[in-house]
Amino acid sequence: MKAFSYVSATDVAAALRAISTEPNAKFLGGGTNLVDLMREEIEQPDTIIDITRLPLSGIEELPGGGVRIGAMVRNSHLAAHRLIRTRYPMLSQAVLTGASAQLRNMATVGGNLLQRTRCLYFYDGAAACNKREPGRGCDAIGGFTRNHAILGASEACVATHPSDMCVALAALDATVVAESVRGVRRIPMTEFHVLPGETPDIETTLAADELVTAVELPDLPVAATSAYRKVRDRASYAFALVSVAAALETSGGAVSAVRLALGGVAAKPWRAYQAEQVLLGAPATDETFERAADAELAPAVAQSQNAFKIELARRAIVATLRRLLTEGSAA
């Protein structure tokens, strides 16, 4: 790990001042991803601005019925919070399937948004990676691509976003609140992460000097009937091959409200708008669920080793919706 200087920020204004004046500085939250990447020398900041002492650790109801989650809320506290467990169970579940209890006790909500890919070639300094070194090429293509994207990839990058929490946030129409010395900005979760295109090194729409201060959840009644299904290579403590965040409400046998997002399939948490369109108003049957999944996955393109993920995603979508229908919510 490269040596760096360390600053601990005690208020947001100080943190924003520091990031705008210190060259090559990074905010440090729980450290579960950044410290690992620094040890691997993939990240090499000259200054670390510790933001864990900022007063951003609250979870509170918003006047309009939504919920505001401070950026420094620990993952474990988010998952265990009553409001989240009862009103947005898919979010609790998504967080609880991520990493391990120890890591969830460290990791922050803000940091989780900025988690970087687990692509083996991104992690290996000896391999070519356009995300790490723009223009160097992509050794993942034609290599081990079991965990790689089937949607929205480019010739420059086929990596996936590893977060579980973000998949639920994308399904829930969450909003990311970001602050900089220029002011406050609100970014819809579905627009927070970007697809790789020609510039896979750019992963979010957050500016380098912006600090995520909160995530806001809208008042969303359908979310009370929701679940997160994660499919992976072992029963726990593994990244998703495919995951599904789903909320479903039916009325008279037809889908009256739905939210659906996929994880492990793209460089961003994948909001399944195509599927939602098919589902809304249609009879809540396996046949509809299958049609919805097919619509979402129609543009899917496989890498050399991950064609199975297209079928897996299809089945996981159908199974998750079916379970919500027959067994109800995870709450």
Task: List residues binding another protein (CB under 8 A).
Answer: 1-6, 8, 28, 30-32, 35-36, 38-39, 41, 48, 50, 52, 76, 79-80, 85-86, 89, 92-93, 96-97, 99-103, 105-106, 118, 120-121, 123-127, 142-144, 146, 231, 233-239, 241, 308-309, 311-312, 315-316, 318-319, 330-331
Which residue number, 32 or 190, has a Cβ lying nearer to another protein?
A: 32
Q: Are strands 5-8 and 47-50 parallel, antiparallel or unpaired?
A: parallel
Question: Smallest distance, Å, CB 196 to another protein?
Answer: 20
Q: Residue 31: in which H helix or E strand, if any?
A: none
CB of 245 closer than 8 Å to CB of 261: yes
Q: Give 111-153 as a DSSP string.
A: HHHT-----HHHH-TTS--TTTSTTS--SSTTS--TTS-SSS-
Question: Smallest distance, Å, CB 326 to another protein?
Answer: 10
Which residue number, 35 or 257, has a Cβ lying nearer to another protein?
A: 35
CB of 245 closer than 8 Å to CB of 228: yes
Which residue number, 177 or 211, has a Cβ lying nearer to another protein?
A: 211
Question: Smallest distance, Å, CB 8 to another protein?
Answer: 8
Question: Smallest distance, Å, CB 260 to another protein?
Answer: 16
Which residue number, 255 or 316, has a Cβ lying nearer to another protein?
A: 316
Question: Smallest distance, Å, CB 85 to another protein?
Answer: 4
Which residue number, 187 or 310, has a Cβ lying nearer to another protein?
A: 310
Tell me the C-alpha distance between 237 and 295, whole Å: 31
Under 8 Å CB-to-CB from 285, ≥6 apart: which residues? Answer: none
Question: Smallest distance, Å, CB 86 to another protein?
Answer: 5
Which residue number, 36 or 61, has a Cβ lying nearer to another protein?
A: 36
Which of 57, 65, 1, 10 minimizes the C-alpha distance to 30? Answer: 57
Tell me the C-alpha distance between 168 and 271, whole Å: 9
